[in-house]
Structure 1
Amino acid sequence: LTRFSIFLCCLTSALMALVSFVFPDLYNTSAEVRTLARRMILVCALLTPLDAGANGLYFTIRSGGQVLVTMVFDSLFCWSVQVPVSYALVCLTDLPVLAIYAVILSLVALKCVLG
Structure 2
Amino acid sequence: MLSFRVDGQYIGRHVRLQCPIGSTQSPLIGCSNLAAADLALDRALIIPATWQLGARVTLGDIPLGSTKAAISLWGKNLTDSDELEFLFPILDTWVVGSFQTPRNYGIDLSIKF
TM-score if structure 2 supplies the norm length? 0.27
Largest Rg, 1 or 2: 2
Give the helix-richer structure, 1 or 2: 1
TM-score if structure 1 supplies the norm length? 0.27
- Structure with the bigger RCO (C-alpha within 8 Å, sep 6+) is 1
